[in-house]
Amino acid sequence: MRAHPRRPLTPLPLIVAIAQVVGTQGTQGNQVRSAGLMRVALDPPGYALLLAGPLALLARRRHPVLTMVATMVVTCVFLVMRYSYGPVFISPVIAIHNAVVTGHRRAAWLASGLLYGFFTVYTTLFIALPIPAWYHNLAVAAFIGVVLAVSEYARARKERLMEHTRVEREEARRQASEERLTMAQELHDVLGHNISLIHVQASTALYLIDDHPEQARAALTTIKQASKEVLTEMRSVLAVLRDGPPRSPAAGLDRLGELIERSGLPVTTRVTGEARTLTSGTELAGYRVVQEALTNVARHAPGASVTVALEYGPRELLIRVTDSGGTAPGESLGGGNGIPGMRERATALGGTLTAEHHGAGFRVEARLPIPEEKT
């Protein structure tokens, strides 16, 4: 048997019922004895009307407009039957407030206008008041206006809170999407570089294993290191999904030496300017640009020599990877997103990236802005 969820108790109708009954009993004495007011004492129909309004409030969440109309009708009948003025107005006030807050503004304002019209006609034509009728009607209009104003303020505040919550949820969803895209890009770069390197070195090992076993051993050693590196970096990226920030340090320009050594390519490195530690985003983007460029050389231009140049300027880091062109046909491993991915990384940081043929080879050049140091 499935248990139905229990709805929270709503004591408001009960509190209103007690307040209306007890309050009317306390105020009716003077009004019944007043010859001018000509009010009558409560009887069973009067008590029933006092309880009908709070009873209608039970449906205020599902049927706010119907509840508002019911409480107003009950209140008008109560007054027409000449029962005492008093807390009977609590029910319609709550119903009007609820209708406005739940978005039924037009119905609430129209019903409030009709209720004011009833009071005006009733007090002007059918009963004698100890005060001028216009003064009474002005007070009723002010009271209804205050109720509507407070209700409108509560509605606006509720909408602002809902909008704020919606914006926060959208922002959290957007950040989650960006994080997923970032992790996908990281996995692409890590897998693309290392799998390509493993493929190239495996081909080299197979070619040299019979005639040059020592060189084949070096290629296999490179494969071992690359496979270990790809596993380490994959764990680091995927750990974000499970444990939050990765425990191992993020890849940066300080690890270019390891990257170049694993590539197995003849690489010459040149660094000009004042080398310094940059922001983590710039360091990672620079590392990935060089990584992808070396992957492309190993894949498409085997036998090429490579020059990696880093130029540190006061406001910009220039990364230039140039190869001399392959001495053997490159292997096609299918289309990829290497260059577009590098360009996206540079653009995300406010930089630029170009990739074009240079002589017999190819050149990748990235310009990454360096934020000013705060003093």
Of the two residues 222 and 68, the one the predictor is more confident about is: 68
- 39 is in which domain, residue-wise? 12-130
Rounded to an integer, the average pLDDT of 15-43 is 80
Tens-digit pLDDT profile for residues 114-128: 999 998 888 877 776
pLDDT of residue 198: 74
pLDDT of residue 136: 79
pLDDT of residue 147: 92
pLDDT of residue 56: 92
In three state form, how does the secondary structure of the chain look?
CCCCCCCCCCCHHHHHHHHHHHHHHHHHHHHHHCCCCCCCCCCHHHHHHHHHHHHHHHHCCCCHHHHHHHHHHHHHHHHHCCCCCCHHHHHHHHHHHHHHHCCCHHHHHHHHHHHHHHHHHHHHHHCCCCCCHHHHHHHHHHHHHHHHHHHHHHHHHHHHHHHHHHHHHHHHHHHHHHHHHHHHHHHHHHHHHHHHHHHHHHHHHHHHCCCCHHHHHHHHHHHHHHHHHHHHHHHHHHHHHHHCCCCCCCCCHHHHHHHHHHHCCCEEEEEEECCCCCCHHHHHHHHHHHHHHHHHHHHHCCCCCEEEEEEECCCEEEEEEEECCCCCCCCCCCCCCHHHHHHHHHHHCCCEEEEEEECCEEEEEEEEECCCCCC
102 occurs within a structural domain: yes
pLDDT of residue 190: 66
Last residue of a domain, one of 101, 130, 159: 130
Q: At residue 9, does pLDDT exceed 90?
A: no
pTM: 0.52
Residue 129 has φ and ψ, to the nearest 5°, of -110, 150
Rounded to an integer, the average pLDDT of 356-370 is 89
237: confidence class by pLDDT, cuts 50, 70, 90: low
181 occurs within a structural domain: no
200 occurs within a structural domain: no
Cα separation, 346 vs 175, in Å, equals 19
75: confidence class by pLDDT, cuts 50, 70, 90: very high
Tens-digit pLDDT profile for residues 158-209: 989 999 888 888 888 887 777 677 667 767 666 666 676 676 667 767 777 7
pLDDT of residue 193: 63
Percent of the chain exceeding pLDDT 90 equals 29
98: confidence class by pLDDT, cuts 50, 70, 90: very high
207 occurs within a structural domain: no
Q: At residue 343, does pLDDT exceed 70?
A: yes
Last residue of a domain, one of 130, 160, 183: 130
Of the two residues 238 and 143, the one the predictor is more confident about is: 143
Q: How many domains does the chain have?
A: 2
211 occurs within a structural domain: no
Q: At residue 1, does pLDDT exceed 60?
A: no
pLDDT of residue 334: 45
265 occurs within a structural domain: yes
Q: At residue 2, does pLDDT exceed 60?
A: no
104 occurs within a structural domain: yes
- Of the candidate ranges 193-202, 207-216, 313-322, the one whose mean pLDDT is the lowest: 193-202
- 319: domain CATH number? 3.30.565.10
Q: At residue 6, does pLDDT exceed 60?
A: no
Tens-digit pLDDT profile for residues 244-258: 554 445 678 888 888
Last residue of a domain, one of 130, 153, 186: 130
164 occurs within a structural domain: no
Q: At residue 236, does pLDDT exceed 50?
A: yes
